[in-house]
Chain A
Amino acid sequence: MKKLTKLASLALALPLTIALAACSGSSTPSAQPGGSASGGTTGSGKLTAWAWDPAFNIFALNEAAKVYQQDHPDFEIEVVETPWDDLQTKLTTLAQSGQTDELPDIFLMQNNAFQKNVINYPDLFTDYSASPVDFSQFPQGVVDYSVVDGVNYGLPFDNGTAITALRTDVLEKAGYTVDDFTDITWSDFLAKGKDVLAKTGQPLLSGQAGSSDLIMMMLQSAGASLFDAEGKPTITNNEALMKSIDVYAQLVKAGVLTEVNSWDEYIGTLVNSSVAGTINGVWILGSIQTAEDQSGKWQITNLPKLDGLSGATNYSANGGSSWAISSNANAELAADFLNSTFAGSTDFYDTILPSSGAIANWSPAGKSPVYSEPQEFFGGQAVFAQVLEYAPNVPSNNTGAYYYEGRDAVSAAITKILNGTDPATALDEAQKTVEFAMQ
């Protein structure tokens, strides 16, 4: 029996020890993530960072580290590839449980999610007020995404300026050039789009069904948004929104915009030549350029503007992201690193531009000759310089903390409108949905 008792006590003790070890394991090593402990003089030490795209922002971060290492040989960076959805989930979980010591030094954040995160979880961030970054060298509209109560929380990285990219070979068949689509209104665009469709059988645009990206771009192009200055939803009686939805519905009904169901299908329509163009953030050029057989057949121009609306422009933005410094960072080192690369090195931007297509928001970078080089893929057009010309004209976008609620409610409304619901009714419902979510 003695043996049995021993065995039993072992059975009791073993899993418990394992469990306890597992529990304590999570709290001990967290004291030094990102090596912020190594402090010392500025310029040496190791930073950890979260970003999501190996060909784009992670690549940029690693290149930035190389630039920074030239003056600070002891500097190191460790980038953890974290898809955006996961990054947001991680941030929320860490903030909610108060485990901010698990944060990396730097993380990248979608511009549209910035307000929400700063307002809900201010203890995730170190703001830029103590940093040397000169934010006046970035377009105001882009900086505004990450400003809360007059304080900067993000350093703008990639440019989300919206462009219209068009297939010149298709336009030519229909007797048009890109100039015919420059500085036009949406009604022109629709008329010409119908003509192109009739003559070539190709729609001008494609988009994900149930995604309101295009509508959001139209809204922003008129300086409008789904929220007023106090953050209250303004989905009903919103003239710009009504007009945008009307344009969208007409595009879909005329077949000038073809709807697909997923992002992959959307990219597919571009690279398979099933559509003759697209309207999106400039980062879409990266995907377009994967179709090497279409080299020389693309050009870009600005967006159509909404008809008869005061404040309507031909410029907008979609997406884009900014660097945040976490509350668990070696803040001085992180700020110095970002300031001397993303906000201070033309060499750096010159290196990342050709291979990743990451266009700077930092205005001095645009003066570099690399930006004005003609791009073969775009029929010799200097697309990067072109985009930098558009960027300062983009109106600010008031995202607020409830941006995603608003966007999704409007997406649902569009689906209903396209299925025959009266627009005003559908938007009233959307307004109610957002108001309910904000209660």
Chain B
Amino acid sequence: MRVEQRRNLTGWAFLIPAALLIALMNFWPMIQAFILSLKTGRGRRLDFAEPLWYNYQRLFADEIFLLTVQNTFIYLIVQVPIMLVLALILANLLNDRRLRFRGMWRTAIFLPCAVGLVSYSLVFRTLFANDGFINDFLMGLHLIDSPINWLGQTGTARLVIILGLLWRWTGYNMVFYLAALQNLDNSTLEAARIDGAGPFKTFWYVTIPQLRPIILLTAIMSTNGTIQLFDESWNLTQGGPAYTSMTMSHYLFELSFQKNPNFGYAAALSYAILLMVAVLAFIQMKVGDKRD
């Protein structure tokens, strides 16, 4: 055996255990879920559907599902851009070497991420209750006359979920940007300054292009996470009022465990979610990756 071959073999030997485990624990269930998505019936009385793609066809006729798709995409379109821009700005501010107590600020902004999804949802629910802190606060400032029923109306309920997501995840993304900023070659920034670029121009033309790969990564991760959003919908609003704040994953859970169990259909729904994540990630990669 040549040295190179041997090195290759060693590499494979290291890779195989993890690969096998992933195949066994991830890919095999995915294949099984796909087979399940072709079946129909309640409980364990499952048979292959006629036609095979019946469950997928059913998705398009399911008004609640279509509503949950709409809800999820509203969260995605509103929340992800705001969050990433905010994270970028915060990261840039906190990267300033002259800033005092940088460590404290960073920790404070990252901290929400360490809070459990359920507990933060419950805190938000309490804050936005009819007699909650937010209403008391706004009434105390005489900005509103009577309490706003935040979670009881479609628009405000969605707003509260988006606010929750922003609070929870902005710091998380900021940390990625901070790490990337620290790897930036400071000479590029100095060069820009010497060439007479102001802070905004430096940020826009020098910093952002260099952060592109990490922005792409966070965009894909956030999109992926938002499309699979479950906890906020479940804990904050219970999907209400009248399903208008329910996410796709929440509906999937309802179909499987709360309603008369329809696992074939739920599996089809999970594949629909997978497809959306895949397509969006593909588009983002095409748009974001300018390496060639």
Q: Please, how many angstroms separate the alpha-carbon atoms of A116 and B258 in the complex?
A: 10
Separation in Å of the A16 CB from the closest CB of chain B? 6
B64→A265 contact, CB < 8 A: no
> A1 an interface residue at 8 Å Cβ cutoff?
yes
Which residue in B18, B150, B243 is a CB contact (below 8 Å) of A15? B18
Known: A8-B14, A95-B44, A415-B240. A261 touches B151 (CB 8 A): yes
Chain A residues near B130: list those with CB within 8 A. 260-261, 265
Separation in Å of the A255 CB from the closest CB of chain B? 12
> A437 an interface residue at 8 Å Cβ cutoff?
yes
B131→A95 contact, CB < 8 A: no
Which residue in A262, A405, A415 is a CB contact (below 8 Å) of B260? A405
> B20 an interface residue at 8 Å Cβ cutoff?
yes
> A377 an interface residue at 8 Å Cβ cutoff?
no
B258→A416 contact, CB < 8 A: no
Chain A residues near B24: list those with CB within 8 A. 19
B44→A402 contact, CB < 8 A: no
> A237 an interface residue at 8 Å Cβ cutoff?
no
A262→B129 contact, CB < 8 A: yes
Separation in Å of the B269 CB from the closest CB of chain A? 13
Separation in Å of the A344 CB from the closest CB of chain B? 33
Chain B residues near A408: list those with CB within 8 A. 259
Q: Please, how many angstroms separate the alpha-carbon atoms of A260 and B44 in the complex?
A: 38
Categorize the interface residue count of chain B: 35 or more
Q: Convert A1-24 into 0s and 1s, putting 1 for each residue whose CB lies closer than 8 angstroms to a CB of B.
A: 100110011011111100100000
Separation in Å of the A120 CB from the closest CB of chain B? 3
> B225 an interface residue at 8 Å Cβ cutoff?
no
B13→A12 contact, CB < 8 A: yes
Known: A209-B241, A210-B241, A433-B63. A92 touches B261 (CB 8 A): yes
Chain B residues near A210: list those with CB within 8 A. 152, 238, 240-242
> B99 an interface residue at 8 Å Cβ cutoff?
no
B13→A9 contact, CB < 8 A: yes
> B62 an interface residue at 8 Å Cβ cutoff?
yes
Residue of B nearest to A263 (CB): B238
B21→A15 contact, CB < 8 A: yes
- Size of the A side of the interface (Cβ < 8 Å), in residues, is 48
Which residue in B6, B17, B45 is a CB contact (below 8 Å) of A14? B17
Known: A11-B17, A15-B21, A16-B20. A261 touches B149 (CB 8 A): yes
Q: Please, how many angstroms separate the alpha-carbon atoms of A265 and B149 in the complex?
A: 12
Residue of B nearest to A412 (CB): B242
> B120 an interface residue at 8 Å Cβ cutoff?
no
The main secondary structure of chain B at its interface with chain A is helix
Known: A15-B17, A416-B242, A433-B64. A96 touches B260 (CB 8 A): no
Q: Convert B138-172 into 0s and 1s, putting 1 for each residue whose CB lies closer than 8 angstroms to a CB of A.
A: 00000000000111100000000000000000000
Separation in Å of the B118 CB from the closest CB of chain A? 12
B238→A92 contact, CB < 8 A: no
Separation in Å of the A5 CB from the closest CB of chain B? 8
Chain A residues near B261: list those with CB within 8 A. 92, 96, 120
> B61 an interface residue at 8 Å Cβ cutoff?
yes
A261→B129 contact, CB < 8 A: yes
Chain B residues near A412: list those with CB within 8 A. 241-243
A16→B17 contact, CB < 8 A: yes
Q: Which B residues from 217 to 257 make CB contacts under 8 A with A?
A: 238, 240-243, 256-257
A119→B13 contact, CB < 8 A: no
Q: Please, how many angstroms separate the alpha-carbon atoms of A88 and B253 in the complex?
A: 12
Q: Convert A239-275 into 0s and 1s, putting 1 for each residue whose CB lies closer than 8 angstroms to a CB of B.
A: 0000000000000000000011110110010000000
Q: Please, how many angstroms separate the alpha-carbon atoms of A416 and B129 in the complex?
A: 21
> B16 an interface residue at 8 Å Cβ cutoff?
yes
Known: A11-B14, A12-B16, A268-B131. A259 touches B256 (CB 8 A): no
B17→A209 contact, CB < 8 A: no
Chain A residues near B263: list those with CB within 8 A. 96
Separation in Å of the B47 CB from the closest CB of chain A? 14
A402→B10 contact, CB < 8 A: no
Q: Please, how many angstroms separate the alpha-carbon atoms of A404 and B58 in the complex?
A: 20
Residue of B nearest to A403 (CB): B260
> B42 an interface residue at 8 Å Cβ cutoff?
yes
> A38 an interface residue at 8 Å Cβ cutoff?
no
Separation in Å of the A386 CB from the closest CB of chain B? 32
B43→A405 contact, CB < 8 A: no
Separation in Å of the B45 CB from the closest CB of chain A? 8
Chain B residues near A59: list those with CB within 8 A. none
Q: Which of A8, A413, A438 has the most CB of B within 10 A?
A: A8
Q: Which of A4, A408, A413, A433 has the most CB of B within 10 A?
A: A408
Residues of A within 8 A of B (CB): 1, 4-5, 8-9, 11-16, 19, 85, 88-89, 92, 95-96, 98, 116, 119-121, 123, 209-210, 259-262, 264-265, 268, 401-402, 404-405, 408, 411-413, 415-416, 433, 436-439
Please provide the 5 A-B residue pairs with the shortest distance between their CB atoms, ordered closest to farther.
A120-B43, A8-B13, A412-B242, A415-B242, A210-B240
Q: 29 pairs across A/B with beta carbons < 8 Å?
A: A1-B6, A4-B10, A5-B10, A8-B13, A11-B17, A14-B17, A15-B21, A88-B258, A89-B257, A92-B256, A92-B261, A96-B43, A96-B263, A98-B44, A116-B260, A121-B44, A209-B149, A209-B240, A210-B152, A261-B125, A401-B42, A402-B260, A411-B242, A412-B241, A412-B242, A412-B243, A416-B242, A436-B61, A439-B58
15 new A-B contacts, CB < 8 A, other than A89-B257, A261-B151, A401-B42, are A8-B13, A19-B25, A88-B258, A95-B44, A96-B43, A209-B152, A210-B241, A259-B152, A261-B149, A262-B125, A265-B130, A413-B242, A415-B240, A416-B242, A436-B61
